[in-house]
Amino acid sequence: MGTRRYRFRGSGVMVALAMVLATVGLVAPPAISTPGVDDYPSQLKNAGRDALVDPWLFYNRECTSFTAWRLNHDNWGLPYGSQRQFWNYYKNQHWGNANHWATAARAAGIRVDDTPAVGAVAYWMSGSFGHVAWVRDFTSRTVTIEEYNYVVYGGYSTRTLTVGASNYPTGFIHVRDLRNVRRPTISGTPQVGSALTAAKGTWHLPGATYSYQWLADGTAVSGATGTTFTPTAAQVGDQISVRVTGTLTGIDPITATSVATAAVVPNTITSTAPPTISGTAQVGSTLTAAPGQWSMSGATYAYQWTADGADIPNATAQTLSLTPDLVDELVTVKVTASATGFQSSTVESAPAGPVAYGTMTNTAAPAVQGTPQLGTTLTASPGQWSVSGASYTYQWLADGARVDGATQPSFVPDATQLGKRLAVAVRATARGYTDQVATSPASDAVAAGTIDVASGPSVRGRAVVGYALRGDAGQVDTPGVQETWQWLRDGVAMAGQTGATYTPVRADIGHRFSVQVTLSRPDFQTRQETAAATAPVRVTPWLTARQTVGSGTVTLDIAVGARGAPTATGRVHLLLGSQLVRRPLLTDGVATVTVRRLPRGWHTFHLQYLGDHLHTTKSVTLRVWVPR
């Protein structure tokens, strides 16, 4: 456990320390510490526990004394009895008992965290004085420590603790971890045949020995374990680094790797004959590069095509397809030769060109799609061409002659093309190519058109004597169509009734009417459409009410009828004010109703005839004086 027996204050510390240190003997022969072995100095180990104050001002055989021993002699490499680095007042902080070390470390600006490291101080806050130990090894799940005065009273022990276990340290104090402080460095030029030299860097690992392993792109180079390394052709393009391993008895080896060099540069290869270009310098054609001759065999070649001196993006194959944007430009190819162990070299060919316009061909003829008929839309298919992405213009032909203004992809024949055969001439245009024209085969002769109707005719209006019925031709999609009318009575044509309207007369009562529309246009087939018939024609009747008034009583004799019409049937509603009081049924067109218990005064009666299949509705209002 931690220091717990003495409490020094003020100058008394110096007096007590002077007496104790004389007993300890600071000038004893040096001792060499070994992690994993109880090499705590015999002067301190053989005295009674807490009988001495050690050179670092902690009580002997305590956890604090042993940890201070490890820090000074393993982390700083100081022999026992020499000058000290870590002690009880390190960095002007009083470290004291183990449970105060983390606080003192933070006050001194020393990192305290949950991350173990070899040579770090593990601490626990449990108990009255806490506990500290020295970290010898760790993994992602365990930490191995050396300690005093825990498992063995006043003695040495080592333990491996598991992360998350109840005895796992509270945290770790990083006073001076055993580690690489400044990574190794490499001097020299990374080039085949040039020696590189490694410096091991700066380490907190006293007494360690160091070994070297050279790496090429992170992979160990077999046999390259000295302080120098000379790259060969096998490392061309690789970045070289060196991994230094510090080895110290009792702890796992610690490694550090230098920053990688730039890629290893090879030697130089030279051209003995420049590249050449074969092929026709014309849009749509392909040029091929020959790499020329070079100072060594077995080289590999990379290509970059240029146009008027500028690199063509992504043009890095041995061949180049000439595109429209290269018209009138001079084309060259730059060839870069590479070989293992040699510096690449680039040489440019003589120019080809200037690049001429390409020739476009029609590979499938244009076509006229659709039925050649007046009023029907025909569509031109441009056919297929040797160049993708071409644009097209159109000229329609009738019996081989141009149709003025017919230059769209679609065409609607009119009367002037009736009986003629239609074709379309297509002009294809593409950037970098000369225009080409191809003509479709002729269609069949243009036939008379068909009038298109989206919706048929109808009759609008009331089928009532004296009210006009109006014919509606519906929706006719074909333009320029003329309409003629014929009214039908019960499906039979009516002589002389060829207008757009017809007004029923009394003789029409009970009959149904419809209208037949004839659609015509020159050079089109005539079309007839018939509207649905109306309901039977009705007549608006007269409505009379003869009144007989008595004391509190009104009797109405109601009559409904119309000249030239059958007898009215149905009911009459009688309302007093807004209240329905009677609904008599007509018999032979008449009905009688009596309203009783009426108070003295004026009363307003509303008569509403509801109509039947030959009579419309009818209403009348009466104002009647009723005496007492």
Q: Please report the pLDDT score of residue 267 as a whole number.
A: 73
Whether residue 14 has pLDDT greater than 80? no
| Confidence category of residue 17, pLDDT binned at 50, 70, 90 | very low
CA–CA dist 540, 533 (Å, integer): 20
Count CB-CB contacts under 10 A for residue 502: 22
Cis ω before 372 (30° cut-off from 0): no
pLDDT (tens digit per residue) in 483-502: 999 999 999 999 999 999 99
Q: Please report the pLDDT score of residue 34 as a whole number.
A: 58
Q: Please report the pLDDT score of residue 449 as a whole number.
A: 83
Q: Please report the pLDDT score of residue 18 as a whole number.
A: 33
pLDDT (tens digit per residue) in 272-288: 999 999 999 999 999 99
Whether residue 538 has pLDDT greater than 90? yes
Whether residue 29 has pLDDT greater than 80? no
CA–CA dist 521, 483 (Å, integer): 9
Q: Please report the pLDDT score of residue 479 as a whole number.
A: 86
Cβ-in-10-Å burial (0-12, 13-18, 19+) of 320 comes to buried
Lowest average pLDDT, out of 9-18, 216-225, 278-287, goes to 9-18
Residues 6+ apart with CB under 8 A from 109: 91
Residue 249 or 261, more confident: 261
Q: Please report the pLDDT score of residue 26 as a whole number.
A: 32
Cβ-in-10-Å burial (0-12, 13-18, 19+) of 458 comes to middle
- pLDDT, the chain, mean: 90
pLDDT (tens digit per residue) in 36-78: 789 999 999 999 999 999 999 999 999 999 999 999 999 998 8
Whether residue 3 has pLDDT greater than 60? no
Count CB-CB contacts under 10 A for residue 240: 24
Q: In the chain, how long is the greatest CA-to-CA distance?
A: 154
Q: Are 351 and 390 in contact (CB under 8 A)?
A: no
Q: Which helix (H) or strand (E) holds 63?
A: helix 63-70
pLDDT (tens digit per residue) in 321-371: 999 999 999 999 999 998 877 778 999 999 999 999 999 999 999 999 999
CA–CA dist 23, 83 (Å, integer): 18
Whether residue 8 has pLDDT greater than 80? no
Structure token pair of residue 216? 């090429």
Q: What domains appear along the chain, each with residue ranges and CATH number?
A: 12-173 (3.90.1720.10), 179-257 (2.60.40.2700), 267-348 (2.60.40.2700), 360-447 (2.60.40.2700), 451-530 (2.60.40.2700), 542-626 (2.60.40.2060)
Q: Please report the pLDDT score of residue 424 as a whole number.
A: 97
Count CB-CB contacts under 10 A for residue 229: 24
Q: Cα 171 to the chain's mean position, in Å?
A: 45
Whether residue 4 has pLDDT greater than 80? no
Q: Please report the pLDDT score of residue 32 as a whole number.
A: 38
